[in-house]
């Protein structure tokens, strides 16, 4: 591809979608309750988990001592909130926000709370919340001295239905020095696209231009191997196979925009 052509296509891809989340940027068509619970070790005889209350709700609990710390899960909403006019909110519509909820993505407010939480708070929340598990894994990976544990947590979350875990896994390999391997980052973003998050194609296009032919071959091979491993991990958890990817709303418009931009590019060559 000529350099000028690559630039035009990159602009077409970048203009086709909204800004990406996590990086600081789970799924077949399942409801949030169907996301399997996190495997982070829980304390003995835990009480039944209640749905997290909206932000601020904890302050209304009269029985809570004034000096007690508010549990992290009581500070964050369960669903991805659609906030028109908020440039940091990725959702394009209420339907899109519902998809992001099913795919396990935290909205900007929830992500902020997870990122600012202590590791102890995150580990506690990760026992019942996959979003917390994913951010906990990323924070462990940032430390650079946790071996395979962050990757095991991400694989588990992805097997339980989190598409957010797949993009985070890609980020770990694209961005963090201790785990840097762009070919693997490319592979996990491919799996995110396979699960319906078409925005992953833009990230991969941006990074793929720096990959060698050998690295692209590794990415191709590893993406298929990682998919097989993910399905096996899901079976071991006793969960049904993933259904065909439920594409995020806006996919058809994304493809149409690319097709139009590409046709225009071809006509000017």
- Condensed to tens digits (0 to 9), the pLDDT of residues 89-126 reads 999 999 999 999 999 999 999 999 999 999 999 999 99
- pTM for this structure? 0.75
Distances from the Cα of 234 to the Cαs of 159, 172, 177, 208, in angstroms? 5, 22, 29, 29
How far, rounded to the nearest angstrom, does the alpha carbon of residue 177 sit from its chain's CA centroid?
A: 20
Whole-number pLDDT of residue 38: 65
Q: How confident is the model at residue 31 (pLDDT cuts 50, 70, 90)?
A: very low
The full DSSP string for 178-210 is: GG--HHHHHHHHHHHHHTT-TTHHHHHHHHHTT
Distance between CA atoms of residues 83 and 79, nearest Å: 12
Distances from the Cα of 239 to the Cαs of 30, 37, 245, in angstroms? 12, 11, 16
The answer to whether 167 and 188 have CB atoms below 8 angstroms apart is yes
User: Which of 95, 99, 107 has its CA nearest to residue 131?
Assistant: 107
Rounded to an integer, the average pLDDT of 12-22 is 40
User: Which of 38, 115, 107, 117 has its CA nearest to residue 72?
Assistant: 117
Whether 64 has a pLDDT exceeding 60, the answer reads: no
Length of the chain: 269
Q: Hey, is 239 helix, strand or coil?
A: coil
Q: Hey, is 42 helix, strand or coil?
A: coil
The answer to whether 42 and 127 have CB atoms below 8 angstroms apart is yes
Q: Of 39-43, 45-49, 61-65, 215-219, where does mean pLDDT reach its minimum?
A: 61-65
pLDDT in tens, 168-185: 999 999 999 999 999 999
Find the distance separating the first CA and the last CA of the chain, reported in whole Å.
Answer: 12
């Amino acid at each position: 591809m000529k350099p000028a052509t690559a630039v035009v296509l990159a602009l077409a891809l970048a203009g086709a979608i909204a800004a990406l989340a996590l990086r600081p940027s789970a799924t077949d068509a399942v409801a949030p309750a169907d996301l399997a619970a996190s495997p982070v070790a829980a304390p003995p005889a835990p009480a039944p988990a209640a749905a997290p209350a909206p932000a601020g709700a904890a302050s209304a609990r009269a029985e809570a001592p004034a000096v007690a710390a508010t549990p992290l899960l009581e500070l964050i909403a369960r669903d991805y909130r659609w906030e028109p006019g908020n440039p940091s909110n990725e959702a394009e519509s209420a339907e899109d926000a519902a998809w992001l909820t099913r795919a396990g993505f935290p909205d900007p407010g929830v992500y902020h709370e997870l990122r600012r939480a202590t590791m102890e708070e995150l580990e506690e929340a990760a026992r019942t919340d996959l979003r917390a598990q994913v951010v906990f894994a990323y924070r462990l990976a940032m430390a650079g001295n946790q071996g395979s544990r962050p990757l095991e947590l991400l694989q588990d979350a992805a097997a339980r239905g989190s598409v957010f875990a797949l993009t985070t896994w890609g980020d770990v390999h694209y961005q963090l020095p201790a785990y840097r391997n762009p070919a693997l980052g490319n592979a996990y973003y491919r799996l995110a696209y396979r699960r319906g998050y078409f925005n992953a194609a833009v990230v991969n296009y941006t990074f793929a231009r720096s990959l060698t032919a050998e690295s692209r071959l590794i990415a191709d091979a590893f993406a298929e191997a990682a998919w097989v491993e993910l399905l096996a991990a899901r079976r071991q958890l006793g969960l049904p196979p993933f259904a065909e990817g439920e594409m995020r709303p806006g996919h058809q418009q994304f493809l149409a925009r690319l097709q139009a931009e590409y046709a225009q590019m071809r006509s000017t060559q």
